[in-house]
Structure 1
Amino acid sequence: MKKFGLIVAASALALAACGGGEESGSSGSSEEASKDIKLGATAGPYSDMLNQAIVPGLEEKGYTVEIVEFSDYIQPNVALDGGDIDANLFQHTIYLENFEQEQGMDLSALTTVPTAPMGIYSNLFDSLEAIEDGATIAIPNDPVNGARALLMLEAEGLVELDPDADVLQASERDVITNTKNLVFQPIEAGQLPRAVDGSDLAAVPGNFALAAEMNLLDALVLENMPDEYRNVVAVTAENEDSELAADLVEVVESEEFEAVIDAEFEGFGKPEWMAE
């Protein structure tokens, strides 16, 4: 994931279990796979993306789709691995790869989708240029999102990081130049929307900003995240070549999908393939 930033506060979120059904899961690899499917997502923008931008295309292909919503970032993969859902949308590639390694799962990312970027918000300053010397900035206290925040600040010329630092886990200790003498206040990522009022600045991951009904376009700057930090549609590895997997990719790569994104998901950063 280069010099950039995200999850999604991923490794810190937890969630509720979902019900199973024999018609979902690994059945996707069968030649007579059922077209009654279950797709999982965390409640919020990615559940909305499934409902508004993906499900209509699948229904045109003959699928009957049930959306299963989760409240954390653990259960969507547990449910996928266990066959209780057929695909999910909630995580980026880095989180997916770390999760399956830690949990001994074999999951596959099919395609990358537009993702809500981290942004720097302020109720005190109206531009990065207006930031005063010694201003406080709340940043995520988890390694992944904290590094994203610092990388965004570096991209805007506000800090310089040690070139030998691990870009995926960079921390305040790796800041070697701090042009505005910013004072970092690491806090739990889910609390960052509230920190917009309590600090001069706050680096808020996009999913938490949207959950707090913040407007992404109100940010002083939005993260230009690398694709590794953009969310993906995932299936089990055994279903990577299934008819459903191919249909999911076709729907996401359609003009209809992009039209819904442009109309309903303003501020979401598009993956590289959509710019081609």
Structure 2
Amino acid sequence: MKKLLLLSLMSLLSVTPAMSATEKVIGATVGDFAELSRESLKPLLEKKGFKIRVVEFTDYVQPNIALAEGSLDLNIFQHKPYLDQFAKEKGLELTPVAQVPTAPLGIYPGKLKQLSEVKNGSTVAMPNDPTNLARALLILADLKWIELPAKFDPFKIAPKDIVKNPKNIKIVQLEAAQIPRATQDVDFAIINGNYVVSSGMSLTSKLMAEKSDAYVNWAVVRTKDLNSDFAKAVKEALNSKEFQTYAKNKFKGYKYPSSWK
């Protein structure tokens, strides 16, 4: 009996730190990021011994505040330019740990169905908020439909900065969420991936996606926890073959982390 009790005690003492850790809370925005957190990341981390709870958010402010204040251990919803600006403005010490598949900004057909059909005076709907407007203009520049200055801030470029517009492209600025409904009224539409998905459109119907990887979203932790066992486990899980297989089957048409290439 004493030998049995001793063996039981030794077994308890041999449990790894991760197995005895307190619950870890992941915050993600409603939709694809909450889905990948719950469906794949959570079970992968639980296999490593962590107890995981996923909390959903509907805004882009509270997930960072909650993470900084300690009610979250990880959040998934933002690209690095947004994180950098938000953390600077709020004085938060947050650091990205691994990228996640992200629905890209892309140009979609409207009244015209192929990029080759562009004509003089074609109309292009695009988001009116400064960051996404700048991203949309870069797509037009990549298509050679407009020319931008040799030197410019890629996060702040605006229509007034266009150097040449040989096709006389007419830019129609709209609220990002409204653009999917405007496709019947313009020749082409540049739409954020999340609004493509939420509107019932297919990401695979895009004619071209933005080239930059700067807007692929990240899983983020508190800077002080960057080298923690949990952060390391998250990075390993999000780059694992198992997660990649899940993501490529689940999120077709998305931009994938550069580390997967």
Q: Same fold (TM over 0.5)?
A: yes
Amino acid at match of 2:244: E
Q: Deviations over 1:224-244 (max 9, x none)?
A: 222x21100001111111111
> In structure 2, which of residues 50, 55, 63 is the aligned counterpart of residue 68 of structure 1?
55
Aligned partner of 1:269 in structure 2 is: 255
Q: Distance in 2 between matches of 1:72 and 1:83?
A: 18
Q: Distance in 2 between matches of 1:33 and 1:196?
A: 53
Aligned partner of 1:24 in structure 2 is: none
Aligned partner of 1:108 in structure 2 is: 95
1:41–1:271 distance in 2 versus 1, CA, 3 Å: same
Aligned partner of 2:178 in structure 1 is: 191
Q: Distance in 1 between matches of 2:59 and 2:93?
A: 20
Larger relative contact order, structure 1 or 2 (CA cutoff 8 Å, min sep 6): 1
In structure 1, runs of 5+ residues without a counterpart are: 1-29
Aligned partner of 2:10 in structure 1 is: none
Aligned partner of 1:162 in structure 2 is: 149
Check conservation: 1:121, 1:218, Cα contact below 8 A.
yes
Q: CA deviation at 1:117?
A: 0.8
Q: Pairwise mapping of residues 144-183 of structure 1 onto structure 2 (< 5 A)?
A: 144-183=131-170
Aligned partner of 2:36 in structure 1 is: 49
Q: Distance in 1 between matches of 2:48 and 2:177?
A: 38
Q: CA RMSD in A?
A: 1.7
Aligned partner of 2:238 in structure 1 is: 252
Q: Distance in 2 between matches of 1:210 and 1:173?
A: 31
Q: Distance in 1 between matches of 2:135 and 2:173?
A: 13
SS at match of 1:153: helix
Check conservation: 1:138, 1:199, Cα contact below 8 A.
yes
SS at match of 1:169: coil
Q: CA deviation at 1:264?
A: 0.5
> In structure 2, which of residues 69, 72, 75 is the aligned counterpart of residue 85 of structure 1?
72
> In structure 1, which of residues 199, 219, 222 is the aligned counterpart of residue 206 of structure 2?
219
In structure 2, runs of 5+ residues without a counterpart are: 1-16
Runs in 1 of length 4+ with deviation above 4 angstroms?
A: 30-33
Amino acid at match of 1:181: N
Q: Distance in 1 between matches of 2:65 and 2:20?
A: 21
TM-score with structure 1 setting the length: 0.84
Amino acid at match of 1:246: K
Q: Distance in 2 between matches of 1:43 and 1:83?
A: 20
Q: CA deviation at 1:265?
A: 0.5
Q: Distance in 2 between matches of 1:65 and 1:234?
A: 16
Check conservation: 1:90, 1:232, Cα contact below 8 A.
yes
Aligned partner of 1:231 in structure 2 is: 217
Aligned partner of 2:6 in structure 1 is: none
Q: Deviations over 1:231-268 (max 9, x none)?
A: 00001111111111010001011100110111100011
Q: Distance in 2 between matches of 1:123 and 1:161?
A: 24
Q: CA deviation at 1:156?
A: 1.4
Amino acid at match of 1:183: K
Q: Distance in 2 between matches of 1:151 and 1:263?
A: 29
Aligned partner of 2:108 in structure 1 is: 121
Aligned partner of 1:240 in structure 2 is: 226
Q: Deviations over 1:14-73 (max 9, x none)?
A: xxxxxxxxxxxxxxxx99973411100110111112122311211211222211111110
Check conservation: 2:125, 2:190, Cα contact below 8 A.
yes
TM-score with structure 2 setting the length: 0.89
SS at match of 1:114: coil
Q: Distance in 2 between matches of 1:238 and 1:181?
A: 51
Corresponding residue pairs, total: 245
Q: Does 1:130 align with 2:117?
A: yes
Amino acid at match of 2:164: T
1:201–1:113 distance in 2 versus 1, CA, 3 Å: same
Check conservation: 1:224, 1:269, Cα contact below 8 A.
no
1:114–1:32 distance in 2 versus 1, CA, 3 Å: closer
